[in-house]
Structure 1
Amino acid sequence: AVVEESLGVKPGDILVVKVYSGASGVERTLKVKVVGVMRSFLKGFVGAFRLNLVVVPLDWLQGSIDAGPFVNTVLITVKDKAQVQPLYLALKETYRDAQVYTQQSLLDTVTKVFTALNAVFSVISGAALTAAVITTFAVMSITVRERLREFGLLKAMGISSREILLSVVVEVALIAAVAGVAGVVTGFLGANVVKDVLLRMGINFDVPIAFRPHYAALGMAASLAVALIGAVSPMYKVARLRPLEVMQLWR
């Protein structure tokens, strides 16, 4: 048998395994010789939980518990795709208690799963973007409130609302650009750190993490768009400012 390292045995040891078979759960005690030890792929990922796997040949196990020959999976390959559906229907009709799948049905199932995951992640992303817009709006509103006298004095000096708005837009764009770059760098480095941590924990997660410039550009564009959307209302307030109103608000 090949066993998981969490059982604390080594090749050559004799392991006693209890197997429960049948509808009534009859207990059988089997002795197996350890020929190999495999690393736990869940080590460090779910705490102290272990699978305690013991892998033995299927025919030997069936003979040891008098279960008889049993097959749980049959793979059928056809040369003509047109025969897939008729064969599927024939198998369903012949083996009513069996679960029959075609390649297309499995692909459809996987597609549905990923579609559901995309929907969940879209909702999470939408909530995050909404929170970012609200936060930007709040920060810009506070900033405008604190700089009312400055904007009023600029208007009193003859600077047009358009020029003031342009300066605010440039300021928001610069902040958003810096935040976007910081987010891209943090995300890329953070992904590599998480990967290294998982590998050090013994989890086989050696997935290459590549830097994609178009995704980075998309993230920075989203950062700029969120910042500008959140700043629309405060900027509109700046555009309507009058020097006299500023002095009244500042009292």
Structure 2
Amino acid sequence: MNLRILLTLSLRNIKSRRTRFILTMLAIVYSVALMITLETLTYGFRVAIISEVRNILPTDLMVYSSSIAIPQEVTSIIAKLPHVSYVVPAIILSTAQVDGVPVTVIGIPNQYFTYFEVRMVSGSLPMASGEAIVQDTLLSKLNMTLGDTIYVITYTSIQGGTEVVPLKVTGTFSSILGGFLGFHLNMIVTSLSTLQNDLSDEGFVNAIFIKLTEDNPVYLNQLATALSQYFPNADVYEQSSVLSSISNAISMVNLFFIVIIILSLVVTGLSVANTAMMNVRERVREIGILKALGASNSQVVALFLIEILIMSAMGSALGIALGIMGAYLARYIMIHLNIPIIIPVILLPNLYAYSLVIALATSMVASIPSLVSIIRIRPMEVLRIE
């Protein structure tokens, strides 16, 4: 039998048992769709989070101290070092509160407000001392509007003690790190001079952002080592290390998804194995006749294998399409639930190819027992029984 005859017989057999094949194909569709949806969302989430971190931390190095004790004049010295593009002094207060709500206050020079590439939702950037922009989710939580004054209670200053910083809200911005996956930054951004004046810390900061002119890992490591020695009581962070830690955390979440996908593939494999075995048992007489007419074991096995592959290929194609639609649906639901993250749905041809190969391989492996049983069928014994 040539390939054309095998294909014709396979299609005829699929049609005659279409209910069973459709039900088995649905299991394949489910597994592939689940794989595509989860992996697409994970990839999009990774891209979105890394992009957000690059916006919040658009720097190669960051020096941070828990207390406001770094002389601001140091930044001008660092700016004169070779391969340094620019240096931004800042104050970051992560232990502040507004009406009992924990907040993170960031103070930077006015000319660097665009440094963090904040996504403005409403209003405008601060133009005068005592003004600030607030994360949109925080403003809703505080039940306040633009133009209102918020009173930030801080617990960190060079003299110690508690200070109250009044800030007039001039605008709101969005951040996907706000309130998602355990992040509760509730950010407030104001001018550096405002915090220094209200906290009586003129001339001091507790964070320095350093951007290099080019990607030079050797110089980056040397500069990080020098800064660690110069500021022994401060922490020096490399953006690449932060991104690597985030990527590892997302990989752990993806590992959980992979376990779910594997379990669904196991169930699909069992379904395919059951269908293939029932197919063989119902068609023992047909197999015996084919062999009696001269068909070889390999030809009969190929006939059943083609049926499995057609079913698996159709299920995989439909599963890929539904998986992409599922990713868009999940994104739509997140947007309408006001979840502070917009996951981009990025088409991944390699993922679709891998999914197709995995589905086909799963079906082939699951059908091995039934295919082996075909080889053991002897035409004379079958015909004698019949």
Superposition TM-score, scaled by structure 2 size: 0.50
In the other structure, the counterpart of 1:240 is 376
Q: Is the 8 A contact 2:165 2:195 kept in 1?
A: no
Equivalent-residue separation in structure 2 for 1:93 and 1:35 (angstroms): 40
Identify the structure with bigger relative contact order (alpha carbons < 8 Å, sequence gap 6+).
Answer: 2
Q: Is the 8 A contact 1:188 1:211 kept in 2?
A: no
In the other structure, the counterpart of 2:346 is 209
Query: Structure 1's 211 and 122: CA in aligned 2 closer, same or farther, altered over 3 A?
Result: closer
Pick one of 188, 193, 200 that aligns with 1:66: 200
Deviation at 1:100, TM superposition (A): 3.0
1:154-174 per-position Cα deviation (integer Å, ceiling 9, x unaligned): 556765534332221111011
1:93-125 per-position Cα deviation (integer Å, ceiling 9, x unaligned): 33223333557x638936972895598379535
In the other structure, the counterpart of 2:133 is 2
Q: Are residue 18 (structure 1) and residue 149 (structure 2) matched?
A: no
Q: Which amino acid aligns with 1:2?
A: I
| Aligned residue runs from structure 1 range 15-94, under 5 A | 15-21=150-156, 26-39=161-174, 41=176, 52-68=186-202, 69-75=204-210, 77=212, 81=216, 83-94=219-230
**Total equivalences in the alignment:** 246
94-103 or 225-234: bigger deviation: 94-103
1:10-30 per-position Cα deviation (integer Å, ceiling 9, x unaligned): 222222333333699844333
Query: Structure 1's 89 and 209: CA in aligned 2 closer, same or farther, altered over 3 A?
Result: closer
Query: Structure 1's 37 and 217: CA in aligned 2 closer, same or farther, altered over 3 A?
Result: closer
Q: Which amino acid aligns with 2:323?
A: G
| Aligned residue runs from structure 1 range 70-219, under 5 A | 70-75=205-210, 77=212, 81=216, 83-101=219-237, 106=241, 109=244, 113=248, 116-117=251-252, 120=255, 124=259, 129-148=265-284, 150-152=286-288, 155=291, 160-202=296-338, 203-205=340-342, 207=344, 209-210=346-347, 212=349, 215-219=351-355
Superposition TM-score, scaled by structure 1 size: 0.72
78-87 or 139-148: bigger deviation: 78-87
1:1-45 per-position Cα deviation (integer Å, ceiling 9, x unaligned): 223331222222222333333699844333322212335757996
Q: Is the 8 A contact 2:292 2:380 kept in 1?
A: no
Equivalent-residue separation in structure 1 for 2:315 and 2:215 (angstroms): 56
Q: Is the 8 A contact 1:44 1:201 kept in 2?
A: no
Deviation at 1:55, TM superposition (A): 3.0
Deviation at 1:227, TM superposition (A): 1.0
Equivalent-residue separation in structure 2 for 1:45 and 1:80 (angstroms): 31
Report SS of the residue matched to 2:205.
Answer: coil
Q: Is the 8 A contact 2:273 2:370 kept in 1?
A: yes
Equivalent-residue separation in structure 2 for 1:44 and 1:114 (angstroms): 17
Q: Is the 8 A contact 2:287 2:374 kept in 1?
A: yes
Q: Is the 8 A contact 1:19 1:28 kept in 2?
A: yes
Deviation at 1:249, TM superposition (A): 10
Q: Is the 8 A contact 1:165 1:238 kept in 2?
A: yes
Root mean square deviation of aligned Cα: 4.3
Equivalent-residue separation in structure 1 for 2:300 and 2:148 (angstroms): 81
Identical residues among aligned pairs (%)? 25
The runs of 5 or more residues in structure 1 that have no matched partner are none
Q: Is the 8 A contact 1:149 1:247 kept in 2?
A: yes
Query: Structure 1's 247 and 121: CA in aligned 2 closer, same or farther, altered over 3 A?
Result: farther
Equivalent-residue separation in structure 1 for 2:178 and 2:385 (angstroms): 63
Q: Which amino acid aligns with 1:197?
A: I
Equivalent-residue separation in structure 1 for 2:176 and 2:250 (angstroms): 27
